[in-house]
Structure 1
Amino acid sequence: MRKRYLPIVLLISLLATACSKLDEQPRAILVNEQFYLDEAQAVAAVTGTYRKLYETGQSLYNGLFQIGVEMATDDYEAGPRARNAHVRAISNLTHDASNDRMEQLWKQSYDAINASNLNIVAIEKIPADKIDATIQKRLILEARFLRALHYFNLVRWFGDVPLQLQPIANLSKEELQVAKSTEEQVYLQIIADLQAAEALPNYKAYGDMDRGRASSGAAKSLLAKVYLTQKDYAKAKAKAAEVIEQEGYELFEEFADVFNVEKKNGKEHIFSAQFKGNVGYQGNALAGRSAPADIPGINGDYADALHVQGGLYEAYEKTDARLAVTFTLGKVSPVDGKYYALPTPQFNKYYDDAVVGNQSQSSKNLLIIRYAEVLLIFAEAENELNGPTAAAKEALNAVRQRAKTTLLTSSTSKDAFREAVFEERRKELVYEYQRWFDLVRRGADYYVAKLKAAGKNNASARHLHFPTPQRELNLNPNLKQHPDWINH
């Protein structure tokens, strides 16, 4: 990690308004010794750290996941207007350690981790007469949740990575030239942070201005996903069951409501990247990236495209309520009132009818984890432990029933049920940054077979991870390239 990760000056891009629900205003640009003096500053600092999830530009949860990760799957490809050679290389699986999207994934994740580390250390030092003890504890746990989320992404993308738990303070070699920790060590820290964060308030305890902050349910849900990724199915099932039984989440009755701006941070939304258009450039970039480019007045980029050979669109039943929300086959031009059919389906989840012609200002949130996924985590873990039991089918069918698709009622094998859950995840969570993670956790044979079946013939076992960015290797002699990417 290098100088650019260091917030010696606490940059108040970190303290800009994070979203419509996390509304702390920036105060000033202050050195660390002048900041974290009281409760208001501590709240503002942590609020700003949420913004690192979805800052404008190609930030982690505002487009970078899509162009840096999801393009390397069977469901997505670089669209006609994705002209960046690095993005097209990922889509074609010809990327290497020099790819600038890999560099950004690494850089932005560690920047956010360092901000969380600073929050954890500095907020704990605020005198008791300057901050309410309950708020102080909550803010530290929010920072630990965010740190865990970023490390969970990093370890899945890159394998072994440096584990930095203190804010960088003086640019010494010891701080900047950190060797990698093992995946096991990183996961132990992720789990420790999330277990601590389980003590956060229930999401219903937050007032309107704080909706969208990390909660007990968010920590438990992410922890269930961590356990599932590690194939610790007993713990994954138990934690998912705890969320289902204790946290008070529900599915929306209609799938369209999951992406209804008026119902953001609602009963199904466990943790989301928060967007609000026309307020400081805080729109959801995916809406414009996927919107049609050739319909008068739509002004879309069409940089994120469906990889048609993957067969995703055809996998849906015709009655599936998710089809019309997830995809569009054409739109009416706001200029001439004519309907323009599209040659292939295009993604539509984040298209915001309130800002037709300027989708960069879409106010639709990006769902990082939601209740439907927790149900599918439970179904998958239960099946791995006990086969397709009634409880596993009930969880899967809850998602299918809301989608208005055929329920699973007949007997089936453990292997068949596993595939049914994975296909349900694919259809339910498409364009929500899930597909690459799902494919790679099934292993190299599964990943390669799926991509080659979709015509992406460059896929190989090394694509289960991304290469450590070459720029990082050049600047830190203690870093080593991932073994699968040596000499590639």
Structure 2
Amino acid sequence: MKHIKYIVMAVSISLLGACSEWLDLRPESEIVLDDYWQTESQATAVLSAGYRALILPAAIERMLVWGELRSDNLVEGSGTNLDMLRMMNVNITPTNLYADWGIFYEIINYCNTFLHYAPEVVKKDQNFTESKLHQMEAEALAIRSFAYFYLVRAFRDVPLILEPSIHDLQEYEQPKAAEREILNQIIDDLLKAKQFARADYGKGAYNKGRFTRNAINALLADVYLWDQQYANCIAVCQEVIDDKTLKLVEGDKVMNEVFYLGNSTESIFELQFDKDIQHNTTVNWAYGYSGVPTGQLSFPLFLTSKGNFSPFNYAASAIKESTEDLREDHFIGTSVNGTGYSILKYAVINVTENADGTFTPRYRTSAATTNWVVYRLSDIMLMQAEALVQLSPDNTQNFRSALTLVNTTYLRSNETADSLSFNAYANQSDMEKLVLRERQRELMFEGKRWFDLMRIVRRKGDPSAILAYLSPKLSGDNMQLKRLSVIDGLYMPVSKAELDINPKLTQNPFYEDENFVNP
């Protein structure tokens, strides 16, 4: 099932135990569809398989690689694999491992299969009501939208497939759809899903690990921000912020409660892992653990408070931001790893301060595993701040509201600092850069930074707007800068394997231009 063509009629689902155990299902066997869709539990199992596919290593790796690897946040660590090195060196080709989008189309096919067959089950199982169906359809639409949103941000134009792959007579060779068509589909699906989504599932892991109304709003806000629909982004962010069940964790407890224990009070949606079912192996090799505290990725030396390009100890007008920011001490280690410092977020249980002002991380063991946080309250606050800044170039009230949001996340990690003053950020450009710095400080290593930078490129219509952030990590090779100066080159190539089996697909033109390929 590596390629779209081969994602055919069978769906792998679990037949072990109660199918209501959503987050514990393990794909085991292939079911013939004609004999399958009879009961609520069978419909439930297919939807559960869609959730289960989201936590497979191939999916999590791409969420991290597509969303963070090429940004200024990450450089080579210990034993970095060749395909990641090539991406960081701005030398991506269609044979790169991470040009393979197959896992996301597998996820999409689970959702399409459920949406196609589940309505018939209502007629066959009296316990499967229309209300239950609509709630589960909302989840399927949200999962499918989630997958397409990753694809459109990584590749821009991709095939838009809304019907399940269920028999050999179907046309599997699909051309690309334009980004605009895909974004419209995502937004339409999420707006429909909101109408029927549950606010609460009555169980902590389910509330954080399944698509609730808050999770759908978080995804929708992200899509609106990418699509530059700022007023809509502000509105749906506010719906999430207004939910009083969500609360920021105290600054010194973030590492333990948010990134080790998981399902915290500020979590909105996170992918659930369990040591007995599925380890989050991606964060193990990427960031490290007690046995191997140096992962394949590290944080660049130039971005620490001693570096020239750091978001920490940053001089803004007459003030300095983040001079004693917990996030620098808690998220980033002091041990040199490859070409940077070791990464602590996801790798440790907690970080304690010593009497001499230094910090000691307590690494988790390889037997422990962590969830992958997709959306949390601080992210939503900073999305809204970004949208407020972009909504109007000279709206002082919007800027003040954005600064209030930034101060909320900033002050929990800068406990003895004064609030950031409005006078230090006099215009839209200053506010835009402040929000970007705060998102970097708050969300580093969570698969967000490259997409944050890409939103700048999309607004400006010019890749040069982000070269100042990326150039310090480059080798100085003119070809690297040349490749980063073309918008098409900031999106991934279509995998050669996909092109070989689907003649209707076309390559991103950048990757066929002789001016940008290796001689």
State TM-score, norm by structure 1: 0.86
CA distance in 2 between partners of 1:51 and 1:247 (Å): 29
Shift in alpha-carbon separation, 1:285–1:440, aligned structure 2, 3 A? same
Which range is displaced more, 189-198 or 406-415? Answer: 406-415
CA distance in 1 between partners of 2:20 and 2:366 (Å): 15
Contact 1:23/1:209 (CA < 8 Å) preserved in 2?
A: no
* CA shift for structure 1 position 406: 4.7
* CA shift for structure 1 position 152: 0.7
Matched, 1:289 2:292: no
* CA shift for structure 1 position 352: 4.5
CA distance in 1 between partners of 2:503 and 2:464 (Å): 33
Shift in alpha-carbon separation, 1:375–1:416, aligned structure 2, 3 A? same
CA distance in 2 between partners of 1:358 and 1:428 (Å): 21
Which range is displaced more, 309-318 or 206-215? Answer: 309-318
* CA shift for structure 1 position 183: 0.6
Deviations 1:401-431 (A, max 9, x none): 2112552223221110110000111110001
Shift in alpha-carbon separation, 1:45–1:361, aligned structure 2, 3 A? farther
- 1:2 maps to 4
- Please give the secondary structure, in 2, of the residue aligned with 1:175: coil
- 2:408 maps to 398
- Please give the secondary structure, in 1, of the residue aligned with 2:439: helix
Give runs of aligned pairs for residues 333-352 of structure 1, distance below 5 A.
344-352=340-348
State TM-score, norm by structure 2: 0.82
Structure 1, unmatched stretches of 5+, are 331-339
- Please give the secondary structure, in 2, of the residue aligned with 1:126: helix
Q: 2:89 aligns with which of 92, 96, 104?
A: 92
* CA shift for structure 1 position 164: 0.2
* CA shift for structure 1 position 250: 2.1
Structure 2, unmatched stretches of 5+, are 313-321, 351-361, 458-462
Shift in alpha-carbon separation, 1:77–1:200, aligned structure 2, 3 A? farther
Q: 2:376 aligns with which of 370, 373, 387?
A: 370
Matched, 1:117 2:136: no
* CA shift for structure 1 position 311: 4.8
* CA shift for structure 1 position 248: 3.9
Give runs of aligned pairs for residues 326-475 of structure 1, distance below 5 A.
326-329=331-334, 344-353=340-349, 359-385=365-391, 386-387=395-396, 388-404=398-414, 406-411=418-423, 412=425, 413-443=427-457, 444-455=463-474, 457=476, 458-459=480-481, 460=484, 461=486, 462-475=488-501
Q: Match for 1:363: what amino acid?
A: T
Contact 1:251/1:372 (CA < 8 Å) preserved in 2?
A: yes
Shift in alpha-carbon separation, 1:27–1:274, aligned structure 2, 3 A? same
Contact 2:14/2:25 (CA < 8 Å) preserved in 1?
A: no
Aligned CA RMSD, in angstroms, stands at: 3.0
Which range is displaced more, 42-51 or 368-377? Answer: 42-51
Shift in alpha-carbon separation, 1:473–1:19, aligned structure 2, 3 A? farther
- 1:280 maps to 277
CA distance in 1 between partners of 2:127 and 2:63 (Å): 39
* CA shift for structure 1 position 167: 0.4
* CA shift for structure 1 position 345: 2.6
Q: How many residues align?
A: 465
Shift in alpha-carbon separation, 1:18–1:264, aligned structure 2, 3 A? farther
CA distance in 2 between partners of 1:37 and 1:327 (Å): 52
Q: Match for 2:446: what amino acid?
A: E
Q: 1:78 aligns with which of 76, 91, 100?
A: 76
CA distance in 1 between partners of 2:386 and 2:92 (Å): 32
* CA shift for structure 1 position 36: 3.2
Contact 1:21/1:209 (CA < 8 Å) preserved in 2?
A: no
Which range is displaced more, 465-474 or 200-209? Answer: 200-209
- 1:241 maps to 238
Matched, 1:307 2:308: no
Give runs of aligned pairs for residues 245-264 of structure 1, distance below 5 A.
245-246=242-243, 248-254=245-251, 256-257=253-254, 259-260=256-257, 264=262
* CA shift for structure 1 position 391: 1.7
Shift in alpha-carbon separation, 1:155–1:68, aligned structure 2, 3 A? closer
Shift in alpha-carbon separation, 1:65–1:78, aligned structure 2, 3 A? farther
* CA shift for structure 1 position 19: 12
CA distance in 2 between partners of 1:5 and 1:68 (Å): 22
Matched, 1:101 2:120: no
- 1:38 maps to 39
* CA shift for structure 1 position 3: 3.7
- 2:509 maps to 483
CA distance in 1 between partners of 2:182 and 2:412 (Å): 37
- 2:142 maps to 145
Shift in alpha-carbon separation, 1:264–1:291, aligned structure 2, 3 A? closer
- 2:317 maps to none
* CA shift for structure 1 position 135: 2.0
Same amino acid, percent of matched pairs = 25
CA distance in 2 between partners of 1:171 and 1:467 (Å): 28
* CA shift for structure 1 position 319: 2.1
CA distance in 2 between partners of 1:305 and 1:255 (Å): 22
Contact 1:329/1:342 (CA < 8 Å) preserved in 2?
A: no
